[in-house]
Amino acid sequence: MALLEVENLRTRFATDRGVVRAVDGVSFTLEQGEVLGLVGESGSGKSVTSLSLMRLIREPPGKIEADKLVFDGVDLLKASESTMSSLRGGKMAMIFQDPMRSLNPVLTVGRQLTETLRRHLRLDGDAARRRAIELLEMVGIPLAEKRLNSYPHQFSGGMRQRVMIAIALSCNPRLLIADEATTALDVTIQAQIVDLVKRLTRDLGTAVIWISHDLGLVAGLCNRVNVMYAGRIAETGSVRDVFYRPSHGYTVGLIGCTPRVDRVGAPLTLIEGRPPDLIRPISLCPFLPRCAVAIDACNKTMPAMNTIEAGHAARCHADLSVFHQKGAA
Partner 1 sequence: MADLAATRLSDKEDDFRPAGGLQLAARQLLRNPAATIGFAVLTLMVLAAIFAPLISPHNPIQIKLSAKLQPPSAVYWLGTDHFGRDVVSRLIYGARVSLSVGLLVILFSFSLGVPIGVLSGYVGGRLDATLMRLVDAFLTFPPLLLAVAIVGLLGPDIQNVMIALGVVQAPVLARLVRASTLAAREETYVTAVRALGASPTRIIVGHVLRNVLSPIVVQLTIGFSAAVVSEASLSFLGLGTQPPQPSWGRDLAEARRFMTDAPWLFLAPTLTIMLAVLSINFVGDGLRDALDPRSWVTRRRATQEADD
Q: How far apart are CA 77 and CA 96, in angstroms?
A: 23
Q: Are 212 and 185 in contact (CB under 8 A)?
A: no
Q: How far is the CB of 105 from partner 1 (least distance, A)?
A: 6
Q: How far apart are CA 211 and CA 45, in angstroms?
A: 10
Does 29 engage in binding with partner 1 (CB under 8 A)? no
Compute CA 153 distance to the chain's CA centroid, rounded to the nearest angstrom: 26
Helix 125-138 and helix 109-121: axis angle, to 10°? 120
Nearer to partner 1, 148 or 225 (CB): 148
224-253: contacts with partner 1 (CB under 8 A): none
Does 123 engage in binding with partner 1 (CB under 8 A)? no
Q: How far apart are CA 96 and CA 46, in angstroms?
A: 12
Among 108, 223, 238, 269, binds partner 1 (CB under 8 A): 108
Q: How far is the CB of 20 from partner 1 (least distance, A)?
A: 19
Compute CA 96 distance to the chain's CA centroid, rounded to the nearest angstrom: 10
- Rounded to 5 degrees, φ, ψ at 248 are -135, 140
Does 116 engage in binding with partner 1 (CB under 8 A)? yes
- By rule CB under 8 A, what count of residues binds partner 1? 37
Over the window 129 to 148, marking each residue x when it contacts partner 1 by CB under 8 A and - when it does not, the resulting string is: -----------------x-x
Where would I find the H helices in the chain? 46-53, 81-87, 109-121, 125-138, 144-147, 157-169, 187-204, 215-221, 239-244, 249-256
Among 27, 29, 32, 85, binds partner 1 (CB under 8 A): 85
Over the window 162 to 191, marking each residue x when it contacts partner 1 by CB under 8 A and - when it does not, the resulting string is: --x--xx-----------------------
Q: How far is the CB of 211 from partner 1 (least distance, A)?
A: 14
Does 38 engage in binding with partner 1 (CB under 8 A)? no
Does 125 engage in binding with partner 1 (CB under 8 A)? no
Q: Are 264 and 221 in contact (CB under 8 A)?
A: no
Q: How far apart are CA 115 and CA 112, in angstroms?
A: 5
Q: Are 132 and 113 in contact (CB under 8 A)?
A: yes
Does 90 engage in binding with partner 1 (CB under 8 A)? yes
Nearer to partner 1, 155 or 244 (CB): 155
Q: Are 49 and 307 in contact (CB under 8 A)?
A: no
Which CA distances in Å does 46 have to 39, 41, 191, 227, 228? 7, 9, 22, 9, 7
Does 103 engage in binding with partner 1 (CB under 8 A)? yes
Nearer to partner 1, 120 or 315 (CB): 120
Does 126 engage in binding with partner 1 (CB under 8 A)? no
Does 87 engage in binding with partner 1 (CB under 8 A)? yes
Q: Which spans of this chain sit near partner 1 (rule: CB under 8 A)?
A: 54, 56, 82, 84-90, 93-94, 96-98, 101-108, 111, 115-116, 119-120, 146, 148-149, 151, 153-154, 164, 167-168
